[in-house]
């Protein structure tokens, strides 16, 4: 026989006016039973004097777990759109049990609050409009949020090659405005690496470099070599003759300067 309990009192919580404390009597006097949201109170028609058994108490507890987790998810969604995986991870971190999370996900999807395709499309549009990230970085970010397969490809299709090229050129022109005392070879390697880290494919990087990379400037290259050379002179001042010349040549060559211009510099030294 199932143990019956009688609801003896329903009281509004002091801090949360939309939640109620339910007190019950299992035969040993009044005691605190559980708390419910206003929605659950109304939906189940809970009232003083109502009889509930153990199964119903357990069901009430489960319903409330879902309602609390749902409220957490809605609050998390209030900041921005989220993927299903983000919601799952957030609720797991809040120590919500898996069956409850599944119920919340189902409810949110049914209400239109969760749609991974719409999330992915919006995410890519936001990244395109507010950042200069390349498609590889955006793809990795979406995969981390649980977006994959056709959904992922459909979202990334919004980032056309022409738009990628324009963003890469914009980044390159911004980099070109910064003072540079490196050889053209070394500087080119540096900006290529930066565009790669930003998430651009090699073919886009090469096109951007062709359109926007500074043309070789002999005067600037000479100035940069002299600047680097003066620093190296101090470093290798303890060497003389052949050893000094070889150390200087090797160091300047590693920095990307051509043998001809290095030799010219050392001859004038």
Residue 252's pLDDT is: 81
H/E stretch holding 33 reads: strand 30-37
Report the alpha-carbon distance of residue 163 to residue 171 in Å, rounded: 12
pLDDT in tens, 222-239: 777 778 888 888 888 888
114 CB neighbour count, 10 Å cutoff: 22
Q: Give the rounded distance of the alpha carbon of 16 from its chain centre.
A: 34
| Most confident range, picked from 34-38, 183-187, 216-220 | 34-38
Distance CA 58, CA 173 (A): 64
Q: Determine which of 145-149, 207-211, 217-221 has the lowest per-residue pLDDT on average.
A: 217-221
* pLDDT confidence of residue 180: 66
Q: Residue 3 — pLDDT band, cuts 50, 70, 90? A: low
The answer on pLDDT for 1 being more than 60 is no
Arithmetic mean of pLDDT, 193-208: 95
C-alpha to C-alpha distance for 201 and 166, rounded to whole angstroms: 13
Residue 73, pLDDT score: 97
- Taking domain 4-110, whether its CATH number is 1.10.10.10 is answered by yes
User: 83: how many CB neighbours lie within 10 A of its CB?
Assistant: 20
Query: Mean pLDDT across the chain, nearest whole number?
Result: 88
DSSP 112: T
102 pLDDT band (50/70/90 cuts)? very high
Contact 210, 169 (CB under 8 A): no
pLDDT at 268 over 90: no
- HSE-up (13 A, CA, CB side) for residue 96: 28
Domain boundaries of the chain, sorted by first residue: 4-110, 162-215, 220-268
């Amino acid at each position: 026989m199932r143990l019956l309990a009688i609801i003896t009192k329903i009281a509004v919580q002091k801090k949360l006016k939309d939640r109620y404390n339910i007190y019950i009597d299992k035969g040993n006097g009044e005691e605190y039973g559980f708390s419910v949201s206003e929605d659950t109170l109304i939906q189940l028609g809970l009232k003083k004097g109502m009889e509930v058994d153990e199964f119903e108490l357990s069901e009430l507890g489960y319903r409330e777990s879902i309602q609390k987790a749902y409220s957490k998810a809605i609050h998390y969604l209030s900041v921005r759109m989220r993927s299903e995986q983000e919601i799952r991870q957030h609720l797991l971190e809040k120590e919500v049990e898996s069956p409850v999370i599944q119920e919340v996900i189902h409810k949110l999807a049914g209400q239109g609050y969760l749609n991974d395709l719409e999330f992915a499309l919006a995410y890519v549009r936001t990244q395109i409009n507010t950042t200069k990230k390349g498609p590889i970085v955006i793809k990795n970010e979406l995969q981390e949020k649980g977006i994959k397969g056709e959904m992922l490809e459909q979202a990334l299709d919004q980032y056309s090659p022409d738009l990628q090229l324009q963003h890469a050129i914009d980044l390159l022109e911004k980099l070109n405005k910064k003072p540079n005392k490196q050889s053209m070879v070394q500087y080119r390697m540096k900006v290529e690496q930066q565009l790669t880290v930003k998430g651009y494919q090699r073919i886009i990087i090469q096109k951007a470099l062709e359109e926007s990379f500074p043309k070789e400037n002999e005067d600037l290259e000479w100035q940069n070599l002299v600047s680097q050379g003066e620093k190296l002179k101090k470093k290798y001042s303890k060497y003389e003759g052949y050893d000094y010349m070889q150390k200087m040549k090797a160091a300047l060559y590693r920095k990307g300067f051509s043998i001809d211009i290095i030799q010219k510099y050392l001859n004038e030294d």
